[in-house]
Copies of this chain bind each other. A is one copy, B any other.
């Protein structure tokens, strides 16, 4: 019996048949990311049912030098949950640990994130495998809400969202996942259990280990549970779709909305007209909210306190009216119903799918300082299209976060697969170079994973990279936690 066999026998004994399998039919689906871009190999799929089992399994892996790729909903965008092809790793699924252990809605305030944010609310103690949608539903059933959502909410898990510091469409007001985590539990590479689940609003007992683990993509620790904050449910929302002359005007409209309604502004997304065209072409049922077409659109969401919906509607009309008087927008439509609000959002959320139907594209998830994003888009779209003739560059998304999805579409007639291979790397390097020169980030919300690790190594600040390598080596000296992800290899 070789070492891998001995490990598998011990792990099977530890976790039982529901917790450990080498059956290729069961393991296979988890060796490819959901977009089918990354493919790996694994000895087995481990699905522990408790933090203690995770800890015991990690100790076993350490003993046998088996690498561990933690996985939640397998809905990441950067290959962070797909093992490499060496076959000396297990996939450690947290999906069986899906209990919401406790929801606390009592009390007028929340113990919070070591002083990160204040406000009324409650909290939920979730195991890592709780699916985002389940948390939303559990909160809603108690007249609360969890203030983070994103497209993959039906599969993304709390553990995965924490490990990747996920963003989404509510970051503008409520912050990324980092701001939602009040307490954390994780298993470290030596099998020890880091327990910081009890929320304290103030705690100055040393380094902020919790924040160090959030966003570390499973390279430092495996998140097993978390206490997250909940907010009171809203009393309704008003969603508006505004037609704009330019992306610079979108920035001005954002400033206008922030100045007048920072307390209720939950979303501010931008969409260029070409993206709207793609969506309308792709979805026969979709309709443009405005009769005329404009170069850019802004999708604005304002939310009401309970019982204040009518006042909100009036306020939204005032804000948009004054914006139009100031020449910041050309025309605007306010959704007349919740289903129309959904339809407005659906236009925004359908862009990626619509563009995939057109043909190949290189996609980039980037940020620059919020106040520079409109200029960045204006300038960089032109630069990319000039540098790579025939391509079209589309930037859409979270203008209020200084984060857009910057897609570069292939020239008409390009063959999917071939075009990316021939031009993709060059295009992405060009975009990332521009982002870096604007002081921005090559990963705003999707993480580094395996997709951007080399780019991070190429463009990252050498001091930061050295610090990351030192911390990684200190906490995971054998390098068994999610190898090949996030942390670029060092200088030779």
Task: Give A residues with C-beta under 8 Å from B.
Answer: 106-111, 113-120, 164-165, 167, 171-179, 188, 192-196, 198-209, 211-212, 214-216, 220, 254-259, 262-263, 367-371, 398, 400-403, 439-448, 456, 460-464, 466-468, 470-471, 473-475, 486-487
Across the interface, do A109 and B255 meet the contact criterion of CB distance under 8 Å?
yes
B470 touches A204 (CB 8 A): no
Q: Would you call A448 and B206 a contact (CB within 8 A)?
A: yes
B204 and A445 within 8 A (CB)? yes
Question: In whole Å, how far is A468's beta carbon from the nearest beta carbon of chain B?
Answer: 5
Q: Are B115 and A195 in contact (CB under 8 A)?
A: no
- Collect the chain B residues with CB atoms within 8 Å of residue A107's CB: 255, 370-371
Q: How far is the CA of A115 from the CA of B167 in the complex (A)?
A: 8
Q: 22 pairs across A/B with beta carbons < 8 Å?
A: A109-B262, A109-B400, A111-B371, A113-B116, A114-B176, A115-B165, A115-B176, A115-B401, A118-B171, A188-B467, A199-B370, A200-B444, A201-B402, A202-B367, A202-B403, A204-B446, A207-B212, A208-B212, A212-B471, A467-B475, A470-B474, A474-B474
Instruction: Tell whether, in the assembled complex, residue A441 and residue B202 are in contact, meaning their CB atoms are under 8 Å apart.
Output: yes
- The smallest C-beta distance from A408 to any residue of chain B, in angstroms, reads 20
Q: What CA separation (Å) do A443 and B114 show in the bound complex?
A: 12
Enumerate chain B residues within 8 angstroms of A175, measured Cβ to Cβ.
113, 115-118
**Which residues of B lie under 8 Å from residue A207 when comparing CB positions?**
212, 215-216, 220, 467-468, 471
What B residues does A456 contact at CB under 8 A? 205-206
Residue of B nearest to A403 (CB): B202
List residues of chain B with CB within 8 A of the CB of A198.
369, 439
Cα distance, A174 to B201, chains bound together (Å): 11
Q: How far is the CA of A367 from the CA of B470 in the complex (A)?
A: 32
Residues from chain B with Cβ under 8 Å of A177 in the complex: 115
Residue of B nearest to A461 (CB): B195
Chain B residues whose CB sits within 8 angstroms of the CB of A165 once the complex forms: 114-115, 204
A444 cross-chain contacts in B, Cβ below 8 A: 200, 202-204
A contact face: mostly helix, strand, loop, or mixed: loop
CA of A53 to CA of B119 in the docked complex: distance in angstroms?
42
Q: What's the Cα separation between A216 and B207 when bound, in Å?
A: 5
Tell me the bound Cα distance from A279 to B400 in angstroms. Answer: 48
CB distance from A19 to the nearest CB of B (A): 24
Q: Cβ of A188: which chain B residues have Cβ within 8 Å of it?
A: 463, 467
Residues of chain B lying within 8 A (CB to CB) of residue A258: 108-109, 119-120
Given contacts A115-B175, A118-B173, A216-B207, contact A167 B109 (CB under 8 A): no
Specify the chain B residue showing the minimal Cβ separation from A462: B192
Chain B residues closer than 8 Å to A193, beta-carbon distance? 463
| Residues of the B chain whose Cβ atoms lie less than 8 Å from the Cβ of A167 | 115, 202, 204
Closest to A164 in B: B204
- Closest Cβ neighbor of A179 among chain B residues: B116
Distance of A398 Cα from B208 Cα, bound (Å)? 21
Point out the residues of chain B lying under 8 angstroms from A173, CB to CB: 118-119
A403 partner residues in chain B, CB cutoff 8 A = 201-202
B200 near A402: Cβ-Cβ < 8 Å:
yes
Residues of B within 8 A of A471 (CB): 207, 212, 471, 474-475
Specify which chain B residues have a CB less than 8 angstroms from the CB of A398 in the assembled complex.
202
Q: What 4 pairs across the A-B complex have the smallest Cβ distances?
A: A115-B176, A108-B255, A108-B258, A474-B474
Q: A195-B463, A467-B209, A471-B207 are in contact. Are A200 and B117 (CB under 8 A)?
A: no
User: Are A108 and B254 in contact, CB atoms less than 8 angstroms apart?
Assistant: yes
A171 touches B463 (CB 8 A): no
**How many angstroms from the CA of A214 to the CA of B258 in the assembled complex?**
28
Q: Which residues of B are found within 8 Å of A106, using beta-carbon distances? A: 371
Q: Please state if B259 and A120 are interface contacts (CB–CB under 8 Å).
A: yes
CB–CB A470/B475 < 8 A:
yes
Whether B204 lies near A447 (C-beta < 8 A) is: yes
Closest-by-CB residue of B relative to A165 is B204
Q: How many angstroms between the C-alpha atoms of A384 and B154 in the bound complex?
A: 51
| Minimum Cβ distance to chain B for residue A51 (Å) | 12
CA of A120 to CA of B264, assembled, Å: 12
Pairwise interchain contact B259-A108, C-beta atoms closer than 8 A: yes
Set of chain B residues within 8 Å of A368, measured between Cβ atoms = 200
- The residues of B that contact A111 with a CB separation of less than 8 Å are 369-371, 402
Q: Of the candidates B164, B202, B370, B401, which one forms a contact with A402 in the assembled complex, judged by CB atoms under 8 Å apart? A: B202
The residue in chain B whose Cβ has the minimal distance to the Cβ of A466 is B192
- Look across to chain B and name the residue whose beta carbon is closest to the beta carbon of A171: B115
Indicate if the CB atoms of A467 and B194 lie closer than 8 Å: yes
